[in-house]
């Protein structure tokens, strides 16, 4: 294989990607390192990060505005899918990886690069997500992964960067690894590696503590059309604005913190802290509306599809035939998911207190009521129960003597 002359590096300005530029040049002899910074709504000064890459030796440093794409094509499908890995984590970080990988590939094609690179470590999930996505989109592109090869600890990586005059974004005294985008924050490392130690309040930014949360609840209404949220409290918003407003409202009341032991793709368990107030709130409301508008068997089966969908995204299979097939099923189920869900936010909790669908509700008050307006035919119950339990009754008749013995 011919030597790599030009590479596109997924760049965040963090510890690992910060030292990738000099490392790629020093160890691989690569002449041109093009860095790509993805704007995912993380709220950082991306121009400063771009300049840092140039000062670190990048020949070209690019900023890709991916916010709308991220929300429209990744976050909102996840809401429809009620995607919760391990029944807790709404994939706020995992959803961003295939999008960044796709942009890496497109940039590599545009600049005629020989390879792409990322700074993911050898025991994390992101390396799997990036590599699988890149291989699915461009199997001919070489993938360079310095952090899998250099065998440096986080402290050694910081020291290596300092040798080249690259300031680290975290201090040696507080070595948290933090990833941020519009959907939320993920925090790991440092004192959090002790699963019995409660996280310090300093690690949270998007959510209030229970003590600081308001002493009075807020009741909000979220409206959905075809399974997508379209308004909050009767205010029609863009998709980005819906995520932003949901983050603010839920975060103010301390809702959206996750502290979990997570089964990583590479086979180890890790302790992860997440803040995803808006996404969790929207998924909770969406799932509730489905209980009103979808049949029992469809809801039951969709739960298994949702679990598999979340696993696929977590494990890096965004670009896969199975994921595409599941997308088709989920999309078909959402035609009837129209209506409003009312949620009460208070002291870390989001409690559903109402739900309504004008044209798609399967709830019939005249059948459910116990008042004089009840239209349910109680006499039909006896025949139904007879047929419903017939096989079990026959089994009991054949085995009753054995049971007595």
> What is the per-residue pLDDT across 189-220, written as a single tens digit (0 to 9) for each?
888 999 999 999 999 999 999 999 999 999 99
Taking residues 237-261, report their average pLDDT.
Answer: 98
- β-partners of residue 62 are 36
The CA distance from 17 to 33, in Å, is 12
What is the per-residue pLDDT for 172?
52
Report the half-sphere exposure of 95 (CA within 13 A, side-chain side): 33
Taking residues 336-354, report their average pLDDT.
Answer: 98
The angle subtended at Cα 306 by Cα 259 and Cα 319, nearest 5°, is: 95
User: Which two three-digit tokens encode residue 384?
Assistant: 């139904």
The CA distance from 5 to 273, in Å, is 39
Across all residues in the chain, what is the average pLDDT? Answer: 93
The angle subtended at Cα 263 by Cα 261 and Cα 267, nearest 5°, is: 135
What is the per-residue pLDDT for 384?
94
What's the longest Cα–Cα distance across the chain? 86
Catalytic (active-site) positions:
16, 97, 126, 177
What is the per-residue pLDDT for 156?
85
What is the per-residue pLDDT for 150?
87
How do residues 88-114 score in pLDDT, each as one tens digit? 999 999 999 999 999 999 999 999 999
Q: Is the pLDDT of residue 12 over 70?
A: yes
* 8 A C-beta contact, residue 107 and residue 6: no
User: Which two three-digit tokens encode residue 148?
Assistant: 């899998």
pLDDT class for 127, splitting at 50, 70, 90? very high
User: Tokens 């690894």 correspond to what residue?
Assistant: 177
What is the per-residue pLDDT for 170?
52
What is the per-residue pLDDT for 347?
98
CA 339 vs. chain centroid, Å, equals: 24
- CA dihedral defined by 38, 40, 44, 45, rounded to 10 degrees? 50
What is the per-residue pLDDT for 393?
93
Give Cβ neighbours of residue 211 (< 8 Å, ≥ 6 apart).
Answer: none
User: Which two three-digit tokens encode residue 373?
Assistant: 């307006």
Q: Is the pLDDT of residue 345 over 80?
A: yes
CA 283 vs. chain centroid, Å, equals: 11
The CA distance from 238 to 193, in Å, is 38
What is the per-residue pLDDT for 1?
56
How do residues 356-383 score in pLDDT, each as one tens digit? 999 999 999 989 889 988 898 999 999 9
Beta strands 32-39; 60-65: pairing state: parallel
How do residues 304-340 score in pLDDT, each as one tens digit? 999 999 999 999 999 999 999 999 999 999 999 999 9
Straight-line distance from the first to the last Cα atom of the chain, in angstroms, rounded to the nearest whole number: 76
Tell me what percent of the chain is helix, strand and coil, each rounded to the nearest 5.
45, 20, 35
What is the per-residue pLDDT for 254?
98
What b-and-e string marks burial along 34-70, b requiring 16 or more CB atoms within 10 Å of the CB? Answer: bbbbbbbbbeeebeebbebbeebbbebbbbbebbebb
pLDDT class for 174, splitting at 50, 70, 90? low
- β-partners of residue 354 are 342
* 8 A C-beta contact, residue 341 and residue 288: yes
pLDDT class for 161, splitting at 50, 70, 90? confident
Q: H-type helices in 218-350, by residue range?
A: 239-252, 277-293, 296-314, 321-333
CA 397 vs. chain centroid, Å, equals: 52
Beta strands 228-232; 349-356: pairing state: unpaired
* 8 A C-beta contact, residue 246 and residue 277: yes
Q: Tell me 2's DSSP state.
A: P
Give Cβ neighbours of residue 159 (< 8 Å, ≥ 6 apart).
Answer: none
User: Which two three-digit tokens encode residue 196?
Assistant: 């019995």
CATH superfamily of 6-178: HUPs (3.40.50.620)
């Amino acid at each position: 294989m011919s030597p790599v002359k030009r590479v596109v590096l997924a760049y965040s300005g963090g510890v690992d990607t910060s030292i990738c530029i000099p490392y790629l040049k020093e160890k691989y002899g690569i002449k041109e390192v093009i860095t790509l910074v993805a704007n995912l709504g993380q709220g950082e000064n991306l121009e400063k990060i771009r300049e840092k890459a140039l000062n670190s030796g990048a020949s070209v440093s690019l900023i890709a505005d991916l916010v709308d794409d991220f929300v429209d094509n990744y976050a909102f499908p996840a809401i429809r899918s009620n995607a919760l890995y391990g029944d807790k984590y709404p994939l706020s970080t995992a959803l961003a990886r295939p999008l960044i990988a796709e942009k890496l590939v497109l940039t590599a094609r545009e600049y005629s690069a020989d390879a792409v690179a990322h700074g993911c470590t050898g025991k994390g999930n992101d390396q799997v997500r990036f590599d699988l996505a890149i291989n699915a989109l461009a199997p001919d592109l070489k993938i360079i992964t310095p952090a899998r090869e250099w065998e440096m600890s986080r402290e050694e990586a910081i020291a290596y960067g300092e040798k080249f005059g690259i300031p680290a974004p975290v201090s040696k005294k507080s070595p948290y690894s933090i990833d941020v985008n519009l959907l939320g924050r993920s925090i790991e490392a440092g004192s959090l590696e002790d699963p019995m130690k409660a996280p310090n309040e300093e690690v949270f930014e998007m959510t209030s503590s229970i003590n600081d949360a308001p002493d009075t609840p807020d009741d909000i209404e979220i409206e959905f059309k075809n399974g997508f949220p379209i308004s909050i409290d009767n205010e029609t918003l863009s998709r980005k604005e819906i995520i932003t407003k949901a983050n603010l409202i839920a975060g103010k009341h301390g809702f959206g913190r996750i502290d979990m032991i997570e089964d990583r793709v590479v086979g180890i368990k890790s302790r992860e802290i997440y803040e995803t107030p808006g996404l969790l709130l929207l998924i909770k409301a969406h799932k509730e509306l489905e209980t009103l508008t979808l049949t029992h068997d469809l809801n039951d089966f969709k739960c298994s599809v949702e679990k598999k969908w979340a696993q696929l995204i977590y494990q890096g299979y965004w670009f896969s035939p199975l994921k595409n097939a599941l997308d088709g099923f989920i999309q078909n189920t959402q035609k009837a998911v129209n209506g409003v869900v009312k949620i009460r936010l208070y002291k870390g909790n989001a409690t559903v207190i109402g739900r309504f669908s004008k044209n798609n509700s399967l709830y019939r008050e005249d059948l459910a009521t116990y008042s004089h307006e009840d239209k349910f035919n109680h006499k039909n119950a006896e025949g139904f129960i007879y047929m419903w339990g017939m096989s079990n009754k026959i089994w009991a008749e054949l085995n009753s003597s054995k049971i007595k013995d």
